[in-house]
Amino acid sequence: MTPNKGRMRWHCRRALLELDLVFARFLENRFDQLSDAQLADLQDLLDIEDHDLWAMVNGSAPCPEDRWMPLLSMLRDSGTQDDSA
């Protein structure tokens, strides 16, 4: 089942400002290009607690699932100043 994208957009509203900022950039630059498989992975990531997710995004905690790695690196990079991708 393809998740509702509007619902996922709302779930990118987080409890921590750090993640809000990361997801805001991601929604602007990357979200619309995700495949269905990537959307399913994103749904999993969005279910993770905020402190744990932020630690994964900033690299201070390891990523427990290999399939999440591409999304995490998108989250990390979608916002740095030179985002031409």
Partner 1 sequence: MKIAKHTYDAVIVGAGGAGLRAALQLSESGLKTAVLTKVFPTRSHTVAAQGGVAASLGNSTEDNWHWHMYDTVKGSDWLGDQDAIEFMCRKANEVVVELEHYGMPFDRLDNGKIYQRPFGGHSQNYGQSPVSRSCAAADRTGHAMLHALYQRNVRAKTQFYVEWMALDLIRDADGDVVGVTAMEMETGEVSIFHAKAVIFATGGAGRIYYSSTNAFINTGDGVGMAARAGVPLEDMEFWQFHPTGVAGAGVLITEGVRGEGGILRNAAGERFMERYAPNLKDLASRDVVSRSMVTEINEGRGCGPDKDHVLLDITHLSPETIMKRLPGIREISIQFAGIDPIKAPIPVVPTCHYQMGGIPTNYKGQVVAPKGDNPNTPVTGFYAAGECACASVHGANRLGTNSLLDLLVFGKSAGETVVEDIQSGNLRLKPLPDDAADFSLARMARLENQKDGTNVHEVRLAMQRTMQKHAGVFRFSELLQQGVTAILEVAEQAKTTEIKDKSMVWNTARMEALELDNLIEVAKATMISAEARKESRGAHVRDDAPDTAEFPNGRRDDEWLKHTLWYSEGNRLDYKPVNLQPMSESVDPIALATRTY
Site for partner 1 in 28-57 (CB under 8 A): 49-51
Among 1, 2, 6, 67, binds partner 1 (CB under 8 A): 6
Asked if 2 touches partner 1 (CB under 8 A), the answer is no
Among 18-26, 36-44, 66-74, the segment contacting partner 1 (CB under 8 A): 18-26
User: Which among 22, 37, 39 is positioned nearest to 83, based on CA atoms?
Assistant: 22
Closest approach, Cβ 52 to partner 1, in A, equals 10
Asked if 73 touches partner 1 (CB under 8 A), the answer is no
Closest approach, Cβ 29 to partner 1, in A, equals 14
12: tokens are: 């990118």
